[in-house]
Amino acid sequence: MTVPAFGLGTFRLKDQVVIDSVRTGLELGYRVIDTAQIYGNEAEVGQAIEQSGVPRDELYITTKIWTDNFAADKLIPSLKESLAKLKTDHVDLTLIHWPSPKGQVPVAEFMGALLEAKQQGLTREIGISNFTVALMGEAIAAVDAENIATNQIELHPYLQNRTVAEFAKQHGIKITSYMTLAYGEVLKDPVIGQIAQRHNATPAQVTLAWAMQLGYAVIPSSTKRENLESNLKALDIKLSDDDMAQIAQLDRGHRLTSPASLAPQWD
DSSP 94: E
228: in domain: no
Q: CA 13, CA 20: separation in Å to the nearest integer?
A: 10
Comparing CA positions, the residue from 89, 111, 90, 91 lying closest to residue 100 is: 111
73: in domain: yes
Q: How many domains does the chain have?
A: 1
CATH number at residue 21: 3.20.20.100
> 255 phi and psi, to 5 degrees?
-90, 130
Answer whether 0.95 is exceeded by the pTM: yes
| Domain of residue 96, residue span | 8-182+216-221
CA dihedral for 72, 76, 79, 84, sign (positive or negative) = negative
18: in domain: yes
Q: Is 39 a residue of the active site?
A: yes
Going residue by residue through the chain, which has 267 residues, state the pLDDT in tens, using 9 for 90 and above: 689 999 999 999 999 999 999 999 999 999 999 999 999 999 999 999 999 999 999 999 999 999 999 999 999 999 999 999 999 999 999 999 999 999 999 999 999 999 999 999 999 999 999 999 999 999 999 999 999 999 999 999 999 999 999 999 999 999 999 999 999 999 999 999 999 999 999 999 999 999 999 999 999 999 999 999 999 999 999 999 999 999 999 999 999 999 999 999 999
Point out the catalytic residue in the list 39, 60, 158, 216: 39
255: in domain: no
Q: What amino acid occupies position 14? A: K
Q: Which residues contact 81 (CB under 8 A, 6 or more apart)?
A: none
Q: What amino acid occupies position 110? A: F
261: in domain: no
199: in domain: no
Contact in structure between 23 and 52 (CB atoms under 8 Å): yes
249: in domain: no
CA dihedral for 32, 4, 78, 179, sign (positive or negative) = negative
